[in-house]
Amino acid sequence: MPKLTLQDLQRLPKTDLHVHLDGSLRIPTILDLAEQQKVKLPADTVDSLRPFVEVGEDCKSLVEYLRAFDVTLSVMQTYESLVRTAFELAEDAAKENVRYMEVRYSPILHQQKGLTLHAIVQAVLEGLALAEKQYPIKTGVILCGMRHISPDISLRLADLTVAFKNKGVVGFDLAGAEENFPAKRHKDAFGRVLQNNINCTLHAGEAYGPESIHQAIHLCGAHRIGHGVRLIEDGDLLNYVNDHRIPLECCPSSNVQTKAVKKMADHPIRLFYDLGLRVTVNTDNRMVTNTTVSREFQVIHEELGFGLEEIKEVIIMGFKSAFLPYALKRALLAEVVHELKAFKPGSLESKKEHL
Ligand SMILES: O=c1[nH]cnc2c1ncn2[C@@H]1O[C@H](CO)[C@@H](O)[C@H]1O
Ligand SMILES: [Zn+2]
C-alpha cells in the first residue's frame, strides 16, 4: 500500500461532522480571553496550560476527558468569545481543507454570565458566517442536550433548535457522561425535534454498551450515531444500523483517550467499514484530543490499513451523511467526487519538479 503523507491528507477535501466548539479552541486564545475577561486559569502559559486542556493517551475514562471542558467553558461566557472561537475553529478546519463542518455545543453551558440562549446561538452563527466569507468552507450547527442535566433543559434546547431551523442550526445531539445517564430520559426533547422535521444524532456506545445505541435509535430517533464503537458487541443491531445506512461518526483518537477502545489497533472502524457500514471520520475535539481531520485519516491509514481508495470512499460517506438539504448535498458531493477522482498523492513540491 503506497504511503500517504500528512500533506496528502490535508489536500483532500473533507468533512468534520462531529466536532465540539468548546473542545476545539486554540490554547493561546484561551489565555487571551482569560486575560481580557479577568478569568483565573489553572496556568498562565501555553505549555503550562496544555496538560489541563489536552488529555493525552493516559486519560482513563470519558469522565476524566470531560474535565478539560471546565477550563474552556470558563472563558466562553461572552458573546465576543463565542464569535471568536467559532471563527477560529472554522478557520483552522478550512486550512486543512475541511469543506463541510457541523459544529456542536450546548448553549446551556454558556450562561454563567447571563447571556440569553438566543444570543449564544447567534454569536456562534456569526463567527461561522465570518469564516465562510473568507474561506471555502460550509458550516452548520448542532445543539447538544446534556445527559446529566435535566430533561426539561433538553426540551428548552430542543425548542431553541426549532427556533433556529433553517437559520444555521441543522441538528440536535445528546452529549456528556453516558454511564448512568440514559438517553431515554430525554426522549421528549428528541420528539420535539423530530416532529419539527429536524435531524438528530446522539453520542452513544462510547462509554456504555450497545443498549445505549439501541435507545438512541429506537427511543430517540437518531439519524446518526456519535462514536458507536460498542456497536461491535451486538451483531443484530449492527445489521440494523447497516441496513438503514445510519452513519457512525467515528473519532478514533478520542476513542483511545476515553478508553472506548483500549488501543488504536482495536478500533472497530476497520471492521465496520469492511462490513459496509456508513462510517465517517471526525475529530471530536481538536484541542482536547490534539488532532485534526487529516491527522485522524493518517491514524486510520497507518494503524488500520486504510488505503487511498478506501479513504476516498470514507470521505464520500462523510459528505453523504451531512445534515444538509438533499439538493445542496448532491451538488457538494458532485464537486467533491470530481476532485477526488483527479487527486494524486505526492507533495505539491514534488509535483512542481515534474512540470
Ligand atoms: O466525546 C464526548 N462524549 C460525550 N460528551 C462530550 C464529548 N466531547 C465533548 N463532550 C461534551 O459535550 C459538551 C458540549 O460540547 C462539552 O461541554 C462536553 O461536556
Ligand atoms: Zn463528541
Whether ligand 1 lies within 6 angstroms of the CB of 255 is answered as no
The model's confidence at residue 72, banded by pLDDT at 50, 70 and 90, is: very high
Amino acid, res. 72: T
> Would the pTM count as exceeding 0.90?
yes
Q: Taking 60 as the threshold, does the pLDDT of residue 1 lie above it?
A: yes
Alpha carbon distance 18, 173 (integer Å): 10
* Residue 274, pLDDT above cutoff 70: yes
The mean pLDDT value for 179-196 works out to: 97
The whole-angstrom distance between residue 343's C-alpha and the CA centroid of its chain comes to 25
pLDDT-derived band at 349 (thresholds 50, 70, 90) equals low
> What is the spatial distance between Cα 41 and Cα 46, in angstroms, rounded to a whole number?
11
* Residue with CA nearest ligand 1 atom 1: 284
| Signed CA dihedral, 68, 288, 79, 101: sign only | negative
Could you tell me the sign of the dihedral formed by the alpha carbons of 157, 160, 166, 167, in that order?
negative
186 marked ligand binding residue: no
Residue 350 has pLDDT above 60, yes or no: no
In this structure, what DSSP letter does residue 165 have?
A: B
Instruction: Judge whether 153 and 146 are in contact, CB under 8 Å.
Output: yes
Number of Cα atoms under 13 Å in the Cβ half of residue 296:
32
pLDDT score of 34 more than 60: yes
Three-state DSSP string of 256-303: HHCCCCCCHHHCCHHHHHHCCCCEEECCECCCCCCCCHHHHHHHHHHH
What is the three-class DSSP state of 180? coil
- What is the complex's ipTM, to 2 decimals? 0.99
Whether pLDDT at 290 is above 80: yes
The DSSP letter of residue 231 is G
Each residue's pLDDT tens digit, 85-139: 999 999 999 999 999 999 999 999 999 999 999 999 999 999 999 999 999 999 9
* Look-up of cell digits 449492527: 238
- The confidence score (pLDDT) of residue 129 equals 98
24 close to ligand 1 (CB < 6 Angstrom): no
Q: Are the beta carbons of 318 and 346 closer than 8 angstroms?
A: no
How far apart (Å, rounded) are the C-alpha atoms in residues 27 and 24? 9
* Cβ–ligand 1 contact at 105 (below 6 Å): yes
Q: What dihedral angle (degrees, nearest 10) is formed by the CA atoms of 123, 126, 128, 133? A: -170
What is the grid cell recorded at 338? 470530481
pLDDT the model gives residue 57 = 87
Check whether 176 is labelled as a binding-site residue: yes
